[in-house]
Every structure is written in structure tokens, then in C-alpha cells.
Amino acid sequence: MQVETILQKITRRQDDRLDMLFIHVDSFYSLYYSLFNAGLLSIATVCRDAGFRVKCLSTSDLFGLTPAALKSFVQRTRPALVGFYTLSDNIQAVERYATWMKAWHPECRVVLGGPLANIDPEGLLASPCFDLAVRGEGEFVMRDLGEHFLRGKGTLDSIDALTYKLDGVVRTNPRGQTIGDLDQLPFPDQDLLGVRHGFHISTGRGCPYKCAFCFQKVHEGPFRFRSAPNVVAEITSRLEKYDVKSFYITDDVFAVNYDRVREISRRLKEYRANTGRDFVFFCEGRAEVLHRHPDMIDMLVEAGMARLQIGIETGNQRMLDEYRKKLRLEHVVSTVQHAARVGGLTVAGNFILGGPHETEETFQQTLGFAKDLLREAPGVFECVNSFLTPLPATAIAEDPGSFGLRILDTEFLTGMTLNDAWCETEALDRNRLRALDRVFQAGVHQTMARLLPELPFSTVENHFRWARKYRLNTYYYLDHLSRCEILDHYFLFHSSPRFRRLEEIPREEFPDWIPTRTIERREYSADGRRLYLRGDFGRRAFLSRPQEIRIFEYSASKLTARQIAERLQAEMGPDKTVEEILDRWMIPLYRRLEKRFQVIFQQ
């Protein structure tokens, strides 16, 4: 978001006093991928609907504002309550912003939520810039805080799941019931965030799994999910209101309940058919569930899913068992194989380095497993890796020794979680783990690069279409395809209705189409007997037959295929008819060139 737009957003009205300000603080390193926290947006919407004056500032907003501009905004709007979502990667920044808020507007009260507020609310409130912490779901807690501080209703000791300071003493109220029926909550209002190219949606809360490395266990309460009609109603209302083409379902375990996924998929498919609206989405699932119900992938693709993420973590079964994943390696293989058969999507897998009892051998098993999956599904499966992070209150953080780990830094002050080695194993120290991270990335990159020449046209086209039409970037696109000059040119042409592939043109119409080289400039050998084909996945291909070189030279977006054939007939003699030149020389060459994305045809 441009600075001018941000300033307009926060200076819309000169008398815009606020009751509540919700600030999403994320790393500027992750700016492109930063999503405003779904829970924080839901809280803001509930409070807005209760009549409170509410505003949200995203990481993109903060990126475009100087502290002086933010100070001016806070002093003018004077919010009574300022809410932050807290986790290990942002707590230092949250404290810095909260300190500023207190200095600029001493009467405001700073409220914390999120994982760290659940884990150690009393410890957080030891800081003078923090006033209250919410443990668990915050919609009705924050609404009640607004009623108390702004309308004089109720008492702090009557608000469930609240930790607060009173007369210098930190007090903690018992937790109440979780929200049983999530359908009762209003749809989070994206207007509070400003214009976006897409949107994200949360369809459930909690998690039925207890993975040893995951912070989900800090959120007490049962796993709950919204009904299929409620989820689809929010999605379709967003698609229609904002006229966007993509969205992201943020739940870690979206694709786990078969009946609900089937119903959501059916409704989205019907909506697409009835309205003609074009969209794609990205969601996450569990490989063991998809292994049992592979047709979930089919249903989701038919509904518009273009990208599916699964947690794989390791290629060693014993380590998987120690992670408490309830997953077997064969579940991953069958899921990826089925996705490859279905086509029309990518499956993004994540691997963790430096896990329980990691050794050189287990690392090689993980890298080998990743390469095998890439080869099982060329252009469909792709993967990244991260480091094991001992997040607070996880089983690994509480008892690292039982996992064969030694934690080096519990505050993660030297970087972002997942992006560095925060633990060592008995066999691998931090420096070796960092080196293995480079080995893993290089191995994956090289394997993907070798697979590029064998990718079907439809697969390559999908990656470009998802990126350029829907702003959904795959690793294949970012790391490989978009960097290939000829593909970049080819799919720019292909996006226009004026251009077609050879197989899309009826034979009787072909002579009137104009052959167009994808890249205009040509490269010849020193003696002129070879014409090299540029930009083809690094392969050094060339033309050496004189008539083929001449056809390629004439394919300069100036002459029709018939005009080129007539020129060739004039140059090479009348013993061949124009039709023979088209059928025996030009079309076979164009078929070969098209497989290498060297030529396309325009009207």
C-alpha cells in the first residue's frame, strides 16, 4: 500500500476519535505474505457491531508510516483500548509500539491476545506498557472491556479469561466457555483493512492433533469448525463485494472433515457454475486424511483449489512418530501421487531440519524423500524447508532432552523463528544444521530444474496463470519459470485472445495466421550455419537445416504462414507447392518449436 493511501486511510476525518485500535504487528521481512490476524479482525468486527468506533492497522500500514505520522494519528484519535496479537516473532515490536502508545496517549489501555498471552499473561503484564491480557477467544472479552471502560458497565473481575492489573497487582479471572457455535460470529469485515487483491478466511478453531512442535495446544478448548453453508456464504459475499479472484483458507486443518469438505466443495462448484465467477483458492490439509479420502482432492480442485499445503516434516518415520504427527510416509506418497493424477493444482510440502535425534543419515533420508516426491509429481509437488523452532509451551520446548535436543535461544532474538537453527541435536551442531539447510535447498532447486523440460504445457501454463491472473505464486513460478526469458515472453502473448497455439488453430485456417517468434533477437554461429534457440531451460538447441532457419527467420510477426510459404517457394524453387511447404516443412517445424515455447501464432 502506498504511503499516500495509508495517510488517507488514517486521516479520513479530523474528528475521528476511536474507542478501539487493533494493530497487527508482523515482520517487515514477511511483508508480502503477511495476513492480518483473522482472530484480531473478528474481534474488531464484533466490537464495531456493538457500536464501538474501531480501526485496524496492518503491517503494510505500519510499513508506510513514520513514527511521527503514527504519533499524530494516535494523538488525534486517542483510542481508549489498543489491541495486539502476540507471538514469539513480534513481542519485542509489540512492546515497542505499546510503549509509544502509552507515551503519546497515556490514558489508553493496551490489551494483549494470542499465544504468548495464553502462555504467560502474568509475565507479560510485568511490563509497564501492557495493561490487560486475554486468554483464549477475544471477541466477547474485548466487547466487555469496551462496555466497562467506555460505558461504565460491569467489572473487570466478572470478565472471563482476563488477566489484568488492579492497584499494582496482577489478577487472573477463570476461563469461561469457548464459543461453541462459530456461526454466531459475524463475518470479519475486510473493509476494516482497506482494499485488498484477495482475502483470507478462517473456518475453524483449535486443532484435534497434538504435534510436539506446534503451539496450537496453548489454545484450550475443543476443535470446532463453522458449518459449510456459513463458510460458503462468507466466501461468496467476499467474492462479490470485492471482485477478487483468489482467497486463502488459513486453517491448518481445513481438509480433515470429509463431509464438510464435500459440502463446501459442492456449494462452491455450484456457485461457480451459476454465476460464471472465476476464482482459485489455497488451503491446507493432512496427508493421512487425504490418503484415506483421496477424492477430497478431486472435489476441492473442482471447487477452485489451486494450491494445497501439507506438513511432511521429515523423510524418517521414527522422527515423524516423535513429532506425534499420526502420519506415515506412505500416506504422503499416495497423496502426492493422487494429486499428480488429478492435475490442475500444486501440493506444497514443508520439511523441518534439526528435529528429534536428527543425524546426517536422517537428513539424507529427508532430502531423498523430497526429491522422490518431486519426481513423482513433476510440476505438481514442490517443497520448502524450515528449522525446528522450540516455540513456548510446546512439548519440545518443555522437555527438549527427551527429543535429543539442546535449545540454544528461547527468545529468538537473532532472527525469525523457523529461519535459523535454534536447537542442536546430539549429532549436529548449529553450524552443521545451517550448512545442511543450504544443501537441502540446493538439492530441491536442482531437482526441480532438471524436471522443467519434461513439464507438460498445461502444467507450465497453470503456474503462469495462477501467478499473473490470480496473484497465487508457486515455488516453481518464483524460483524457475518466471526467470526463464522465453516463458515470460510466451505466456505474455498467450494471455491475449489474439494469440493461439498451433493445436488450437484449425488446419484450414492456419495459412492466415501470423507466426511470431517468442523472442525477437536471434543468435547465430560464427559461420551462420546454426541458429541457436534462446532461453529454453538452459538447453543449447539449434536449427541447422537452411529451410528451417529461413522459416524461423520469417516468423517475425510480419507475414502470414501462407505468405511465408510463398516466399520459400520463390527462394527455393517451384518444385514444391505452397501447401506442401506448409504441411511438410512449416507445420512439423512449428510443432517442434512450440514444444520449446519458441513460437506462437496471432490473428
Residue whose C-alpha is closest to residue 194's, from 477, 1, 454 = 1
Total number of residues shown for the chain? 603
Angle (CA) 537 541 544, round 5°: 160
- The position carrying cell 466497562 is 148
542 vs 534: CA distance, rounded Å: 9
**558 three-state secondary structure:** coil
pLDDT at res. 6: 55
End-to-end CA distance of the chain: 39
**What cell was used for 462?**
497453470
pLDDT at res. 428: 98
Interhelix angle 457-470/485-494, rounded to 10 degrees, is 70
Architecture category of domain 3-172 in CATH = 3-Layer(aba) Sandwich (3.40)
Q: Which residues contact 467 (CB under 8 A, 6 or more apart)?
A: 473, 474, 477, 482
In tens, the pLDDT along 317-331 reads 999 999 999 999 999
383 vs 476: CA distance, rounded Å: 10
Q: Which amino acid is at 402?
A: S
393 vs 376: CA distance, rounded Å: 37
Right CATH for 499-602 from 3.30.870, 3.90.930, 1.10.3470, 3.30.70: 3.90.930
CB 434 within 8 A of CB 421: yes
CB 461 within 8 A of CB 434: no
Q: Report which secondary-structure segment, H or E, holds 283.
A: strand 280-285
Residue 485 CA neighbour count, 13 Å, CB half: 11
Q: Is the CATH number 3.20.20.70 carried by domain 196-483?
A: yes
pLDDT at res. 285: 95
367 vs 509: CA distance, rounded Å: 50
CB 84 within 8 A of CB 110: yes
pLDDT at res. 172: 96
Residues in the chain where the model's pLDDT stays below 50: 1, 3-4, 14
Task: Give the long-range contacts of residues 564-567, CB within 8 A, separation 24 or more.
Answer: 564/515, 565/511
Cα 321 from chain centre: 27
* Spans of all domains in the chain: 3-172, 196-483, 499-602
